[in-house]
Amino acid sequence: MTNKRKPAGDRVLVLGAGYGGLMAALHAADAADVTLIDPAAHFTERVREHEVAAGRQDISHPLSSFLRKKRVTHVAARVTDIDPVHKEVVTDDHRRHPFDLLVYALGSRTQTVGDGSHEDGRLFTSETARYLRKRLDDGPGTLTVVGGGATGVEMATELAEAERAWKISMVTAGEVGPALSQKGRTHVRSMFRDLDINLEEGRPAAPEDLDADVIVWTASLRANAEVARSAGLALTVDGRIEVDAMLRSVSHPDIYVVGDAAAARTEAAGELRMACATALPLGSRAGRNIVAELRGQRPKPLSFRYYAQVMSLGRRNGLVQFVGADDKPKDMIVTGRKAALVKEQVVRSTVRSLRLAAR
């Protein structure tokens, strides 16, 4: 495949208006009229879903507020199919949308496991944070967060701080904060003690094994790659879409892939984890590469390295874990209110960077 080519036309479709898709659409609009397809009329700050569970009112921004100065048209529909041969996308309103270049940015969702016997209204995920909020308002009881990764830690601490009448616990198959340094993990464990969160490490659990009144499942994120799979795009074993250094599908180079759906890698960082911290630069790179292609220029490879992981531990506490270029933790952390402020600024900067691209 040659890196320099000019597509047959300039119809650009972007599927998904999350961090990656919205950023890609805003950049691609510098050289084309872009159609952005997402059923929601709002951009949702997904990284704040645990705050919604704890009572925060709104974490969304009207898409129109980002798009008004750009040549981007929003289509409110759900993508059901991609026909890569005829270069069309089908939506659930039975419309067909032709494209010359496509950006696939459908993100990911939490996947629960178990035998289905838990489907009794006890089980919630980040995606159902609003319903979890309502359930918490119905009165106190016991709540178990399953999964000790960053999402689980943020969820457990946020809820423990906001819901003092609930008895919160966490169950995790490995150690809590597996991506943290020993120092970072020790801090998380001490925060759990302060917030009276009971922590059970080394215990793999299915929902039906747990007798809590409420279970919040944060254990496994899965890319929304079903549409890509049925269109025949090459996927990795863990279900993300394989891309080259320019972020194009290795099997279908007219399709760029960004965000959680992409198995992107760089020499410095290795395979990138699912994060808004990676989705934004991917979106920006894909959008700029589309501009390059439409102008008959050479698209550029993604350049990315890690610096730090930032985590909230409730509203008043946080953790900044410094990492190497490849995301491996260093023995250096910042904690407390200072870290909480850093985390809040980092989260705000994601929307700020989208607003900047929207100008």
Contacting residues toward ligand FAD, per CB under 6 A: 15-21, 37-40, 46-47, 49-50, 78-79, 105-107, 126, 151, 154, 224, 259-260, 274-277, 279
The least distance separating ligand FAD from the CB of residue 301, rounded to whole angstroms, comes to 20
Helices (H) and strands (E) in the chain, counts: 9, 24
Q: Where are the alpha helices (DSSP H) in 46-139?
A: 49-53, 64-67, 129-137
The least distance separating ligand FAD from the CB of residue 5, rounded to whole angstroms, comes to 26
The least distance separating ligand FAD from the CB of residue 162, rounded to whole angstroms, comes to 14
The least distance separating ligand FAD from the CB of residue 20, rounded to whole angstroms, comes to 3
Query: Angle CA(232)–CA(219)–CA(353) in degrees, nearest 5?
Result: 70
Nearer to ligand FAD, 16 or 84 (CB): 16
Residue 45 · residue 24 · CB < 8 Å: no
Instruction: Sheet with 318-323: list strands edge to edge.
Output: 308-312, 318-323, 329-335
Q: From CA 124, how far away is CA 115, in angstroms rounded?
A: 16
User: Looking up tokens 């991917």, which residue turns up?
Assistant: 282
Nearer to ligand FAD, 259 or 314 (CB): 259
Residue nearest to ligand FAD (CB): 18
Nearer to ligand FAD, 291 or 320 (CB): 320
Nearer to ligand FAD, 276 or 286 (CB): 276
The least distance separating ligand FAD from the CB of residue 320, rounded to whole angstroms, comes to 12
Q: From CA 261, how far away is CA 106, in angstroms rounded?
A: 6
Nearer to ligand FAD, 78 or 208 (CB): 78
Q: 36 Cβ partners below 8 Å, 6+ apart? A: 14, 17, 21, 22, 25, 63, 67, 72, 73, 74, 75
Q: From CA 104, how far away is CA 13, in angstroms rounded?
A: 9
The least distance separating ligand FAD from the CB of residue 298, rounded to whole angstroms, comes to 26
Instruction: Sheet with 12-15: list strands edge to edge.
Output: 72-75, 34-37, 12-15, 101-104, 255-257
The least distance separating ligand FAD from the CB of residue 50, rounded to whole angstroms, comes to 5
Token pair, residue 53, equals: 């569970």
Nearer to ligand FAD, 3 or 60 (CB): 60
Handedness of CA 123, 128, 129, 130 (dihedral sign): negative
Helix (H/G/I), strand (E/B), else coil: 345? helix
Largest Cα separation within the chain, whole Å, is 62
Nearer to ligand FAD, 183 or 222 (CB): 222
Nearer to ligand FAD, 47 or 160 (CB): 47
The least distance separating ligand FAD from the CB of residue 123, rounded to whole angstroms, comes to 15
Nearer to ligand FAD, 295 or 328 (CB): 328
The least distance separating ligand FAD from the CB of residue 349, rounded to whole angstroms, comes to 11
Handedness of CA 67, 70, 75, 81 (dihedral sign): negative
